[in-house]
């Protein structure tokens, strides 16, 4: 339980990569606050110690969300800014999430064909990388971009 006693804020946590990250951080002992423009599905609510409707593109919304999160959970130790950009520290190629319904099958097949591993990322592979970055095991790294691309980033 490496993250025992810590509070993590995860943006865009209601589904997809953000939700997988939240699950992993909770498994490691953190209390997780979900910040999203949509609430988490009822069956996923137990992952979160707190959930806020926050739009990360709106400063007033972020400030109000932080105030309410601190009032509820007392502290904020880890921020995973997943909504809109994924994290600043993790570069993913393409992962299996609902986001892909917005893309054509041809486009997805093309991206997959150019990945040396021949497949898309599983969200748990991204979640594990984020959990490691946030953990004491990564304590001597002060800033980096981590490649989680199956060998090739395709942007």
Ligand X SMILES: NC(=O)c1ccc[n+]([C@@H]2O[C@H](COP(=O)([O-])OP(=O)(O)OC[C@H]3O[C@@H](n4cnc5c(N)ncnc54)[C@H](O)[C@@H]3O)[C@@H](O)[C@H]2O)c1
Residues that bind ligand X (CB under 6 A): 11-12, 14-18, 36-38, 54-57, 82-86, 92, 94-95, 97-99
> Which residue, 2 or 44, has its beta carbon nearer to ligand X?
44
129 neighbors 149 (Cβ within 8 angstroms): no
Burial pattern 6-36, b for ≥16 Cβ within 10 A else e, equals bbbbbbbbbbbbbbbbbbbbbebebbbbbbb
State the CB neighbour count (10 A cutoff) for residue 50: 17
> Which residue, 62 or 73, has its beta carbon nearer to ligand X?
62
Residue number closest to ligand X, CB atom: 16
State the CB neighbour count (10 A cutoff) for residue 127: 23
Nearest distance from C-beta of residue 110 to ligand X, angstroms: 13
> Which residue, 70 or 111, has its beta carbon nearer to ligand X?
111
Nearest distance from C-beta of residue 67 to ligand X, angstroms: 17
């Amino acid at each position: 339980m490496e993250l025992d006693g810590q509070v993590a804020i995860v943006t865009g946590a209601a589904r997809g990569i953000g939700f997988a990250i939240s699950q992993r951080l909770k498994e490691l002992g953190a209390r997780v606050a979900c910040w999203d423009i949509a609430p988490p599905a009822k069956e996923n609510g137990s992952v979160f110690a707190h959930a806020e409707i926050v739009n990360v593109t709106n400063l007033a919304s972020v400030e109000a969300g932080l105030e309410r999160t601190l009032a509820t959970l007392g502290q904020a130790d880890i921020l995973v800014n997943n909504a809109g950009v994924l994290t600043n520290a993790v570069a993913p190629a393409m992962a299996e999430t609902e986001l892909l319904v917005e893309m054509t099958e041809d486009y997805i097949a093309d991206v997959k064909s150019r990945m040396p591993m021949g497949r898309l990322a599983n969200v748990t592979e991204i979640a594990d990388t984020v959990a490691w970055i946030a953990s004491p095991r990564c304590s001597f790294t002060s800033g980096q971009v981590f490649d989680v691309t199956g060998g090739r980033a395709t942007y």
